[in-house]
Structure 1
Amino acid sequence: MEFYKSFFLTHPSSVQILIFGALITSLWLAEGLILAIPVGKKWRHTFTNMLFIVTALPVQLFMTMFVLLEAAWISQNHLGLLQQLPRHQSILIKYVVGFIMLDFCKYLYHVIMHKVGVLWKFHLVHHTDQKLDVSTTVREHPGETFVRMCFLMLWIAITGASFELLLLRQTIQTVSNITSHTQFRLSDGVDKWVGLIFITPNIHHVHHHYQLPYTDCNYGDVLSIWDRLFGTYGKLKPDDTVFGIDTHPDTNVCKSFIKVLQIPFVSKRV
């Protein structure tokens, strides 16, 4: 048991990649088998999305080094909001309150990526997928990867998040992000209760609808409470949900890795 705990703490990037790979592969296979999607058709779509790993993962791993160094320095110097709270070393403050704070920061980041024009140009790459499935999770422009990691460093500086909190947060976030992009949906009854607190596929699918105001709804990452608190929660029937983004309707462009990668440099939001 100690070996696994030690490996988990000393090889965070490897652990995240293993969890990510195992979960996304399992759900991808389940989508194909249970929903009876032809393998060839599903693979062509997935291949385009997986190419984004080639460009984004090196940025992610490079920036992770700075994130971990910052988190260690912040903790050593007792900086950040969490460090100022009474009993800041307790499990409740260090992990529960810390997790909630970081989740709110991610909600705020997501809103910023939609509302700031130059940042939206990079984030809309994720929204150009016209056939949402679990592989859409990795459809992220490397430019956004860099911006996202820079914002994470800002959130660490503000909150004083520790390495252990970041590891816990990233593990739960990985599971949440992958499952929220799957083609599977919860039943209305289950979603009604689970969705009161957590982001579900049903909730996140609305965010991927191709038109406003739904594109600017349901920004939550793990928790759905922020959307409810700040009036950005939206509902849409499955049959009325159309994936993609209306500013880039050309299917030939959205299916091309190279063309999608060029979008931030040749397009404007209308």
Structure 2
Amino acid sequence: MPETAFTMWNELLAHFQTLEQRPLERMAILVGGLLFFWIVEGAIPLFPLKYKKTKLRHAGVNFVFTVIHLIIHTFLAIVIIKLSDWCAETQFGIVYWTNASILLTVIIGVLALDFSSWLVHLVMHKVPLLWRFHLIHHSDTNVDVTTGLRHHPGDSLLRGIFFLLLIFISGAPMYSVMIYQTLVVLATAFTHANISLPVKLDQVLSWVLISPNMHKVHHHWKQPYTDSNYGAVFSIWDRLLGTFSSLDIKQVKYGLDRYYPAEKDEEVLTLLTKPFKKPEA
């Protein structure tokens, strides 16, 4: 590697290594991604969404869950840093056991954490108690860029636990962790945004990444489509592990076919308390 490129690579890794310590920069990435795709979905919408009141009202409801998610993550970040540092100090995890190069360490860490996103998503769909929390995400009948962080606090906490588990197994250092978190924030905004891409382009993207149409199938109101396409950034897990499915995007209808009344998908208090009530059959 040329000296200049080597220096830039090290500077990039150093930047991500300490990114967790710069909350304003991380917030700028999140907000920037949301605003960018908010503008794009306004220019090339996939569906003419019919909000209960207005798009801003819908965004406000989802923003409440976004704030709660960020508060939970702030506390989890302390544990994430300590666990990643412990792995480095004790040389524990796949990246240390294999004596991986820096590039391979990034790849292993990113793939391991993306697998954690796929795995926790699958588990939440398969375990009835956990599904009660996750269905709040699926109850949104107007999927747009703000839906991406519409997660019940219980859902967010479980995602954090699986995230920690895969850091522990992989030994992912903080630069690898923060590269993945940056990717997943942008990918979440992209895949939930109400944007219309050429079908062929979307299909090509879906061979490597979770594309918007691929994820919209996951938000279809009927099973088995709801129980498919669990990936967050990369589509490899769905394709390798048999959870990939496709559907003509024109046939997709958002929401749930049971468990939750569509007319209440913007009632924050109802959404927060719903998981503690037994779902209707």
Fold agreement, TM-score > 0.5 = yes
> What is residue 203 of structure 2 aligned with on the other side?
192
1:44 and 2:25 matched: no
Q: Which residue of 1 aligns with 2:127?
A: 116
Give me the CA root mean square deviation: 2.3
- Shift in CA distance, 31/37, structure 1 to aligned 2, threshold 3 Å: farther
Q: Does 1:139 align with 2:166?
A: no
Aligned to 1:264: 275
Counterpart position of 2:182: 171
Aligned to 1:223: 234
Kindly provide the CA deviation profile for residues 78-126 of structure 1, in whole angstroms up to 9, marking residues without a partner as x. Answer: 00122111x32x1332012332222222211111111111111111111
Structure 1 vs Structure 2: percent identity of aligned residues? 33
Q: CA deviation at 1:183?
A: 0.5
Tell me, which stretches of 5 or more residues in structure 1 are unaligned?
A: none
Q: Secondary structure at the match of 1:63?
A: helix
Structure 2 residue ranges without an equivalent (≥5): 1-7
Q: Which AA in structure 2 matches 1:21?
A: V
- Given the alignment, which residue of 52, 70, 75 partners 1:62? 75
Tell me how many residue pairs correspond in the alignment. Answer: 268
Residue type at the aligned position of 2:26: Q
1:86-125 superposed matches below 5 A = 87-88=99-100, 90-125=101-136
* One of 19, 40, 45 as aligned partner of 1:30: 40
Q: CA deviation at 1:28?
A: 1.4
Q: Distance in 2 between matches of 1:92 and 1:161?
A: 12
SS in 2 for 1:164: helix
C-alpha contact 1:248 1:254 (8 A) present in aligned 2: no
Aligned equivalent of 1:18:
28
Are the structure 2 counterparts of residues 17 and 54 from structure 1 closer, same or farther at C-alpha, using a change threshold of 3 Å?
same
Contact 2:264 2:270 in 1 (8 A): yes
Q: Distance in 2 between matches of 1:147 and 1:70?
A: 17
Q: Which amino acid aligns with 1:201?
A: P
Among 209, 212, 216, the residue aligned to 1:205 = 216
Query: Relative to structure 1, is the Cα distance of residues 214 and 99 closer, same or farther in structure 2, using a 3 angstrom cutoff?
Result: same
Structure 2 CA distance, aligned partners of 1:98 and 1:55?
A: 26
C-alpha separation in 2, matches of 1:3 and 1:152: 26
Q: Distance in 1 between matches of 2:267 and 2:71?
A: 21
Name the CA shift for 1:259/1:60 in 2 (closer, same or farther; >3 Å). Answer: same
Partner of 2:3: none
Q: How many angstroms apart in 2 are the aligned matches of 1:98 and 1:10?
A: 16
Moved more, 30-39 or 17-26: 30-39
Q: Find the partner of 1:148 among 159, 162, 185.
A: 159
| CA shift digits 1:219-266 (9 cap, x unpaired) | 111111111111111111122101111224523321211111111111
Indicate if the aligned counterparts of 1:129 and 1:254 stay in contact, CA closer than 8 A: yes
Do the aligned residues in 1 keep the contact of 2:72 with 2:157 (CA within 8 Å)? Answer: yes
**TM-score normalised by structure 2 residue count:** 0.88
What is the Cα deviation at residue 75 of structure 1?
1.1
1:130 — aligned with what?
141
Asked if structure 1 preserves the Cα contact closer than 8 Å seen for 2:14 and 2:175, the reply is no
Counterpart CA distance in 2 for 1:21 and 1:68 is 23
Question: Given the two structures, how large is their TM-score scaled by the length of structure 1?
Answer: 0.91
Distance 1:211 1:24 in 2: 27
SS for the counterpart of 1:244 is coil
Farther-moved stretch of structure 1 (200-209 vs 105-114):
105-114
Matched-pair contact (CA < 8 Å) for 1:181–1:204: yes
Q: Say which of 73, 85, 102 aligns to 1:72.
A: 85
Quote the Cα distance in structure 1 between the aligned partners of 2:87 and 2:156: 22
Alpha-carbon distance change, 189 to 255 in structure 1, aligned in 2, over 3 angstroms:
same
- Residues 16 and 269 from structure 1, CA distance in 2 versus in 1: closer, same or farther, beyond 3 angstroms? farther
- 1:56–1:142 Cα contact (<8 Å) kept: yes
Q: Which runs of 4+ in 1 moved over 6 A?
A: 1-7, 36-40
